[in-house]
Amino acid sequence: MTTNKAACATLARHLATINSGEITRSTVIGLRKALNLALRRAGRWSVPSTAPTLAQTDALEDAISARWPTVVGELHDSGVKLLQSPRYAKRWNAKEAAIIGNICDFRLCRFDRIGPQQMHVVPVYSVRSHGGQSFKFRNIPWQSGGDGPEVEGRDF
């Protein structure tokens, strides 16, 4: 098997961003695309020649698990808006509501595989309050068959 230089360069940029400790919306989108392509490639689906392998993306997932980079910028702002939306207010228990009312930061924890063949990934975040309490959640939009934010331990 030949080395895919384009995939290696892209994955190296993603790895550098993860290791910097801060991650943006565009990086999460790029990571999700790379992981989805690697899963498709492993499943022997049609993928571009630049698609990474699972072995190449393992380093990214290991770095995320070890580092839990802080979400910054537009992704942080949209996360606050999502969790504080009145639409989802009845979903939260008292502890979660207290955390959501006093959000300090979000961290990217990992990507979960979902779907019938586990061929699609979604990011899982930890939201932390200024008091240090936290919980993990993922958000699967309705367009992808989800129902908004899901709290780990209750819904997934």
Checking DSSP bridges between strand 134-140 and strand 120-129, what pairing results, if any? antiparallel
What is this structure's pTM? 0.91
Give which of 70, 79, 53, 63 is closest to 139, Cα–Cα. 79
Q: In the chain, what is the straight-line distance between the N-terminal and C-terminal CA atoms, in Å?
A: 37
Confidence label for 5 from pLDDT (cuts 50, 70 and 90): confident
pLDDT for residue 3 is more than 60: no
**Domain ranges for the chain:** 5-151
pLDDT for residue 81 is more than 90: yes
Confidence label for 1 from pLDDT (cuts 50, 70 and 90): very low
Higher pLDDT, 101 or 50: 101
CB-based contacts of 103: which residues, under 8 Å, 6+ apart?
80, 83, 84, 127, 128, 129
pLDDT digits (tens, 9 = 90+) for 18-69: 999 999 999 999 999 999 999 999 988 889 888 899 999 999 999 999 999 9
- Largest alpha-carbon pair distance within the chain? 53
